Amino acid sequence: MYLFFHYYVLFTLIHVLVFSPSSLALPPPSATTSLLQFLDSLPKQSQNQLPWNHSISSSPCQWPGVSCYNISNNTSFQVIKALNLSGYGLTGVLNNALSYICQNTRLSFLDLSGNNFTGNVPKQLGNCGQLSTVYLSNNGFQGQIPPELFKSKWLSNLDLGFNSLSGYVPPEVSLCHNLEYLGLYNNYLSGEVPSEIFYLPKLKFLYLNTSSFTGSLPQLSSDYSCSITHLWIHENQFCGSLPHSFSICHNLTEFIASNNDFSGVISEENFKGLLQLDVIYLDGNNLQGPIPDTFWGLESLRQLVLSDNKLNGTISEKISQCNLLEVIALSGNNLVGQIPESIGNLTSLYRLFLFDNMLDGSLPPDLGNCSSLVEIRIQNNFIGGTIPPEICNLENLEVLFMFNNRFEGYIPHEIGRMSNLVELALYNNSLSGRVPLEFTHFRRLEFLSLAHNNLSGELPSELGRNLPHLIKLDLTGNNFYGSIPSSIFTGNNLSVLALGDNCFNGSFPIEIGKSSSLRRVILSNNIL
């Protein structure tokens, strides 16, 4: 009897294990099956775009865009780790098709960017495998961002940029404690940005630019930390003052807030302590007041763009403390005073945009020490004096715009050293003397305007022939005389020639009629 009882217990246990509902359930589909089901659920045209079939390989891990864990050589036990289907031109609504992808329970990476999927962003992405990275950018997704997306405990990288998403950012984003990258750029999202997003403990990259967000940026509490390194919020409708509290984002390196509606004064506290900050873009707002000295204490700063605001005051000599500066763009403000002499210490500077201000004084000769400069745009100011020969040491310079100022005296002969010039505009000044023969060294020059000065003399006979890329030449409103050199019309791509209001004499060069590139010629008010 005792032995029979033991046999009965053993038989019952075996019956439970073998015939229980869980043991009778079908095993999950193989990787091959799930991928082919996904493919079959797409429109026929998309199926042709994705070359998945057994003729390539019996193992789906060898198919384009598929990566697997190295678990077994047996194809029945291969586990998909990542799907990278970016740029295949796939179409259709993803909701149904995604259910087959999600049968791969250990999938951690999904890149469907650069396709033509439409419809809503599937909410099941929040419970799909072990997805830590989801890239859906550059598609045609519409509707709102599903809150379920942020309930995944795995999610660390989410990119929904360049779609047509609308509505608010769900507050559930605060649940995504492992999120490191969030890209919501180039959509139609609106409303205020939840303050909780800035407190996510691992979030480093936050891209909210080019959408329709409104309201002011949240004041952050010092009771929390902020891990954000890259904050892009440009091309929205943010308004109000810049918050002081972003100083708790100690690791912030890029702050790009161009083309919003921020107003008020840039406070000394706004960027205090952000010693890692190397890019600041605040252009295209309504900011006013002086440029705070705090900026000049940011020793890592490489790009400072404050153009098209209502800033006033002077440019501080302390600017040289930011000796890593590569871009200074302060154009379109109400700045006064001189360009600081210390700017010559910025040897990494390659763009200097100070145009459309009220700057005066003379051009500092030490600017010629900025050997990396590629562009100088200081037009539409009140800068005067002579052009210092020292700036002709800028052999990498490609663009020099100094028009609508008060420069006088001769154009220095040393200008020929700037042999990489592509565009040179010195018009509307009070320059005098001849056009230096060294202008013929500008082998890359495409645009040259010396109009409305007091220049005189004959033009160098080799002016056109030695400028093979010249497209536009404007010498209007000077005192040039003599014949028009025939070389101007040969050996280049000249399209516009403006020589009116001078004292040229002689006959029209017959080469004008032979030029196939000329579209416009102005020779009025001469003695031809």
Backbone angles phi, psi at 345, to 5 degrees: -85, -5
- Residue 134 inside a domain? The answer is yes
Q: Of 189, 148, 150, give the one whose Cα is nearest residue 167.
A: 189
- Residue 158 inside a domain? The answer is yes
Q: Of 253, 240, 341, 330, give the one whose Cα is nearest residue 291.
A: 330
Q: Of 70, 60, 14, give the one whose Cα is nearest residue 39.
A: 60
- Predicted local confidence at residue 516, as pLDDT: 84
- Predicted local confidence at residue 2, as pLDDT: 36
Regarding beta strands 66-68 and 80-84, do their DSSP bridges make them parallel or antiparallel, or are they unpaired?
antiparallel
**Whole-angstrom distance, CA of residue 155 vs CA of residue 6:** 50
Residue partners of 442: CB distance under 8 A and separation at least 6: 416, 418, 419, 421, 424, 448, 466, 467
Q: pLDDT per residue over 228-246, tens digit each?
A: 999 999 999 999 999 888 8
Q: Of 307, 357, 315, 316, give the one whose Cα is nearest residue 334.
A: 357
Mean confidence (pLDDT) of the chain: 90
- Residue 118 inside a domain? The answer is yes
- Predicted local confidence at residue 462, as pLDDT: 81
**Whole-angstrom distance, CA of residue 278 vs CA of residue 303:** 6
- Residue 348 inside a domain? The answer is no
Pair of tokens at residue 234? 């440009």
Q: What is the dihedral of CA 77, 82, 83, 84, to 10 degrees?
A: -150
**Whole-angstrom distance, CA of residue 83 vs CA of residue 135:** 10
Q: What is the arithmetic mean of pLDDT over 78-107?
A: 93
**Number of domains comprising the chain:** 1
Residue 101 sits in which domain range?
28-176
DSSP assignment, residue 398?
-
Q: What is the arithmetic mean of pLDDT over 388-397?
A: 97
In a 3-state reduction of DSSP, which class is residue 518?
coil
Q: Of 49, 207, 238, give the one whose Cα is nearest residue 137.
A: 207
> Of the given ranges (60-64, 162-166, 380-384), which has the lowest mean pLDDT?
60-64
Q: Indicate the pLDDT class of residue 25, thresholds 50, 70 and 90.
A: very low
> Of the given ranges (143-152, 286-295, 479-488), which has the lowest mean pLDDT?
479-488
Backbone angles phi, psi at 149, to 5 degrees: -60, -35
Whether residue 362 is predicted with pLDDT greater than 60 in this model: the reply is: yes
Regarding beta strands 496-498 and 358-359, do their DSSP bridges make them parallel or antiparallel, or are they unpaired?
unpaired
- Residue 314 inside a domain? The answer is no
- Residue 136 inside a domain? The answer is yes
Pair of tokens at residue 504? 């040229």
Percent of the chain with pLDDT over 70: 93
> Of the given ranges (52-56, 221-225, 331-335, 522-526), which has the lowest mean pLDDT?
52-56
Q: Of 442, 440, 437, give the one whose Cα is nearest residue 422.
A: 442
In contact, 396 and 417? CB cutoff 8 Å: no
pTM: 0.90
Q: What is the arithmetic mean of pLDDT over 308-328?
A: 97
* DSSP symbols for 110-172: EE--SSEEESBPPGGGGGSTT--EEE--SS--EEPPPGGGGG-SS--EEE--SSEEEEPPPGG
Residue partners of 377: CB distance under 8 A and separation at least 6: 331, 352, 353, 354, 355, 399, 401
- Residue 412 inside a domain? The answer is no
Q: pLDDT per residue over 123-159, tens digit each?
A: 999 999 899 999 999 999 999 999 999 999 999 999 9
Q: pLDDT per residue over 405-415, tens digit each?
A: 999 999 999 99
**Whole-angstrom distance, CA of residue 253 vs CA of residue 249:** 9
**Whole-angstrom distance, CA of residue 192 vs CA of residue 99:** 33
**Whole-angstrom distance, CA of residue 341 vs CA of residue 352:** 14
CATH code at position 63: 3.80.10.10
- Residue 55 inside a domain? The answer is yes
- Predicted local confidence at residue 71, as pLDDT: 62
